[in-house]
Chain A
């Protein structure tokens, strides 16, 4: 299977939109462009999903495929439970009124010959919504909501406005039909930082006011973090990592996410830019993407296995998913823990330790606590160490006991006896060592404090 898995998808009844194994290919004279290759994503009502990645990784193609513009080569797009690829044109046009798109270039996406109020009213006219009066009232309301004076702005034409104001007009137009989902494709990339902040704040306000759901596409990681509730990182037509922004940015699990984060120049002169850990080279061609893991040609952690086998998405923590054989989560943690929740992982070096969700939380709290140096925090640190030890104990016991039991393997993408076997081997010694080590360290900590 070419897909990168669906472990990160949530209950279908719980989501507004869900894409499954979406593939988009373009046939060109140079060959087939694999723009999007088997990605799955979902977004809940009221949520903002951020889609981030370098130029050409397939963000816009994904956004357009959701709108069926053009329809994907394969895969399903379920909006409110309806498969958009399976319905006829008339029905699709009707559904699209609840599904709006905002483009990157605010000026060229507006008809230059029309007045702003007509541009904004156009979708209402096409769909014959309300009376002329009701339509005008609606246009006035949305223009006002996006921060334009309807009396002044309504009669002007787009060229009389700045880029930021044109983006406000695009947003107003996308809102008149009361959409459920708005896909914003790089809505602030063409704007200056001061105006970018205005538009980001405006989108947050519109979300609260009109209860819309957003898919926010951008290449700027800081912008995506600011606006999103969930972030998906893409590389060369694949999903690398999905998670809540605060988690994903604090402890990136995918080597690509980590490298991206390291490349961002921070506006702080005390942070000296380091060239270590930067990615080398350029994005490979989507016409002939690398086999196995598509990131392997630039990945600092790549191993032989990465060329042979495509990584499947799996959980590394609660609501944190990664498609990598050797994820980074755990490297900042002080202690190595075994990897029970994913038989596809083979820890090979200290830099590829993997832990489960619970333990992750434990470890993060532990590291947090270690930085404080009052006695209370040492005590809770010790208690947590013991807790983590006990968790490791339980986890190891489960893995060992699981030996092929179908209940245990059910939660994995590709249950495979060999891999489970492997997981058992791998978790056995480190697992028991971790158990002993953690509990021991915890007890020592407590003793230390008492003395």
Chain B
């Protein structure tokens, strides 16, 4: 595509720091609630460098949103307990003061939310919402900010920006509102963009437009992007790495192609088998995952996926598997009996022989499909 467009004054890169732009280490975010402590994010580590996109996938409640907001420092409730480390460009974010964070929001890191209507102020005109950040952070004059806002609206594909700039959010369609929130997020030239399910509330044709827009902006501005979604399809074609989350933990992390080619974690494998695919003929029996994700107040002590896993062995319920690196460098997984390995095959065969339903049906699915994993 196009090369980084370093013309605008808002695009000056903050640098000087060597190493990854974002480094997250054993990061935790727990919530104190009347019924106990909700371990929403429980020991997550990853790094992200400029120009790269990390996809975070997982089912609802797996902790994706909490992770993204907590790293940015947006969770400020009294019941929030953050620990571990999250460094942006060398600056520790855990424990940073609100004013320190305020200096980073917008100019260094920004977020696009799932529901554009809730992140836009309904009583302010679109233009005002964009210029606010420009005037506060970049100290632009009113006229400069307005010109910049018009240019931003144009760059996120809003036709007739001159008219749109003086409209209210409710006068725009869902897709256009999400374009406006993207314009706001990009206004002050952040280097790190979090997009939390940016297209979940949108129609599939508009989703494709918005994903394209995000990708184009990311390349042009040489940003790092964290794309949070529950849809493996969305991350497959648009990320460099994928982290799969389950019950507050990363259970598999790998370069995107590697992940899809050599799934190691039974949970990732199960997710892939449970989605209906356009390439399958109609009435293809889906491989469902029985049960549901665990309670995050008292998660299982061993592997958190054990109660639903077709490969489960006694060891799984007693010892939590660590996130370890596979033979392929850069591919991490959290499992004692990984898919596609001898240990995994043996575990699955054993469970199938015992008549454990999940194992029996998975074995059948794999037998029907010679190309399947395991």
Q: Which of A133-141, A223-231, A320-328 contacts B (4 or more CB under 8 A)?
A: A223-231
Residues of B within 8 A of A192 (CB): 59-60, 230
Residues of B within 8 A of A197 (CB): 274-276, 286-289
The reply to whether A222 and B237 contact each other, CB–CB distance below 8 Å, is no
Residues of B within 8 A of A279 (CB): 205, 208-209
Contact with A along B235-279 (1 / 0, CB 8 A): 011100000000000000000110110000000001110111111
Within 8 A of B (CB), among A314-353: none
CA distance A228 to B281 in the complex (A): 10
Contact with A along B198-215 (1 / 0, CB 8 A): 000001111111011000
Within the complex, which residue of A164, A246, A267 is in contact with B232, where a contact is CB–CB below 8 Å? A267
The reply to whether A223 and B204 contact each other, CB–CB distance below 8 Å, is no
Closest Cβ neighbor of B290 among chain A residues: A198
CA distance A437 to B290 in the complex (A): 57
B173 within 8 A of A: yes
CB distance from A156 to the nearest CB of B (A): 15
Which A-B residue pairs are the 9 nearest by beta carbons? A265-B233, A197-B288, A194-B289, A226-B276, A197-B286, A197-B274, A263-B208, A192-B59, A198-B288
Within 8 A of A (CB), among B102-153: none
Q: Which of A33-41, A268-276, A405-413 contacts B (4 or more CB under 8 A)?
A: A268-276
The reply to whether B282 and A264 contact each other, CB–CB distance below 8 Å, is no
A380 within 8 A of B: no
B280 within 8 A of A: yes
A–B pairs, 20, beta carbons within 8 Å: A54-B205, A162-B292, A192-B59, A193-B230, A195-B288, A195-B289, A197-B286, A204-B285, A220-B276, A226-B276, A229-B282, A246-B282, A264-B204, A264-B278, A265-B237, A268-B236, A268-B237, A268-B260, A275-B208, A282-B206
Contact with B along A253-289 (1 / 0, CB 8 A): 0000001111111111111110100111011000000
The reply to whether A195 and B292 contact each other, CB–CB distance below 8 Å, is yes
Contact with A along B52-66 (1 / 0, CB 8 A): 000000011000000
**What's the tally of chain A residues with a CB closer than 8 Å to chain B?**
49
The reply to whether B275 and A267 contact each other, CB–CB distance below 8 Å, is yes
CA distance A162 to B292 in the complex (A): 8
Given contacts A265-B233, A269-B256, contact A278 B209 (CB under 8 A): yes
Contact with B along A204-234 (1 / 0, CB 8 A): 1000000000000001111101111100000
Residues of B within 8 A of A228 (CB): 282
A196 within 8 A of B: yes
The reply to whether B282 and A164 contact each other, CB–CB distance below 8 Å, is no
CA distance A222 to B176 in the complex (A): 26
Given contacts A194-B59, A219-B204, A260-B205, contact A269 B257 (CB under 8 A): yes
A367 within 8 A of B: no
A108 within 8 A of B: no
The reply to whether B203 and A54 contact each other, CB–CB distance below 8 Å, is yes
CB distance from B228 to the nearest CB of A (A): 15
Output the residue of B175, B231, B270, B276 with the most chain A CB within 10 A. Answer: B276
Within the complex, which residue of A164, A265, A275 is in contact with B292, where a contact is CB–CB below 8 Å? A164
Given contacts A265-B234, A267-B277, contact A227 B282 (CB under 8 A): yes
Residues of B within 8 A of A162 (CB): 292
Residues of B within 8 A of A222 (CB): 275-278
CA distance A262 to B212 in the complex (A): 13
**Known A198-B289, A278-B209; further 19 A-B contacts with Cβ < 8 A:** A54-B205, A192-B230, A193-B59, A194-B270, A197-B274, A198-B290, A204-B285, A219-B203, A222-B277, A223-B276, A226-B284, A245-B282, A263-B204, A263-B208, A266-B278, A266-B279, A268-B237, A270-B260, A273-B212
CB distance from A56 to the nearest CB of B (A): 9
A55 within 8 A of B: yes
The reply to whether A193 and B275 contact each other, CB–CB distance below 8 Å, is yes
Within the complex, which residue of A201, A266, A271 is in contact with B286, where a contact is CB–CB below 8 Å? A201
Residues of A within 8 A of B211 (CB): 265, 273
Residues of B within 8 A of A271 (CB): 236-237
The reply to whether B276 and A225 contact each other, CB–CB distance below 8 Å, is yes
The reply to whether B285 and A261 contact each other, CB–CB distance below 8 Å, is no
Closest Cβ neighbor of A161 among chain B residues: B292
B369 within 8 A of A: no
The reply to whether B204 and A283 contact each other, CB–CB distance below 8 Å, is no
A432 within 8 A of B: no
Residues of B within 8 A of A267 (CB): 232-233, 236, 260, 272, 275, 277
CA distance A337 to B327 in the complex (A): 55
The reply to whether B282 and A280 contact each other, CB–CB distance below 8 Å, is no
CB distance from B239 to the nearest CB of A (A): 8
**What's the tally of chain B residues with a CB closer than 8 Å to chain A?**
48
CA distance A55 to B199 in the complex (A): 13
A-B pairs with beta carbons under 8 A, tally:
142
A200 within 8 A of B: yes
Residues of B within 8 A of A204 (CB): 283, 285
CA distance A427 to B338 in the complex (A): 61
CB distance from B63 to the nearest CB of A (A): 14
The reply to whether B236 and A269 contact each other, CB–CB distance below 8 Å, is yes
Closest Cβ neighbor of A202 among chain B residues: B288
Within the complex, which residue of A193, A223, A266 is in contact with B236, where a contact is CB–CB below 8 Å? A266
CA distance A275 to B157 in the complex (A): 14
CA distance A273 to B274 in the complex (A): 22
Residues of B within 8 A of A195 (CB): 288-289, 292
Within 8 A of A (CB), among B182-226: 203-209, 211-212
Residues of B within 8 A of A259 (CB): 205
A428 within 8 A of B: no
A393 within 8 A of B: no
Within the complex, which residue of B176, B208, B276 is in contact with A278, where a contact is CB–CB below 8 Å? B208
CA distance A263 to B234 in the complex (A): 11
CB distance from B131 to the nearest CB of A (A): 25
Residues of A within 8 A of B256 (CB): 269
CB distance from A94 to the nearest CB of B (A): 33
The reply to whether A266 and B277 contact each other, CB–CB distance below 8 Å, is yes
CB distance from A255 to the nearest CB of B (A): 12
The reply to whether A194 and B205 contact each other, CB–CB distance below 8 Å, is no
Residues of A within 8 A of B175 (CB): 282
CB distance from A383 to the nearest CB of B (A): 27
The reply to whether A226 and B280 contact each other, CB–CB distance below 8 Å, is yes
Output the residue of A226, A259, A261 with the most chain B CB within 10 A. Answer: A226
Output the residue of A219, A222, A269 with the most chain B CB within 10 A. Answer: A269
The reply to whether B205 and A246 contact each other, CB–CB distance below 8 Å, is no
CA distance A32 to B280 in the complex (A): 41
CB distance from A346 to the nearest CB of B (A): 27
The reply to whether B257 and A270 contact each other, CB–CB distance below 8 Å, is yes
Within 8 A of B (CB), among A2-59: 54-55
CB distance from B204 to the nearest CB of A (A): 5
Given contacts A269-B236, A283-B203, contact A194 B271 (CB under 8 A): yes
Given contacts A263-B204, A265-B236, A278-B208, contact A226 B257 (CB under 8 A): no
Within 8 A of A (CB), among B285-343: 285-290, 292
Residues of A within 8 A of B276 (CB): 197, 200, 220, 222-223, 225-226
CB distance from B256 to the nearest CB of A (A): 5
CB distance from B233 to the nearest CB of A (A): 4
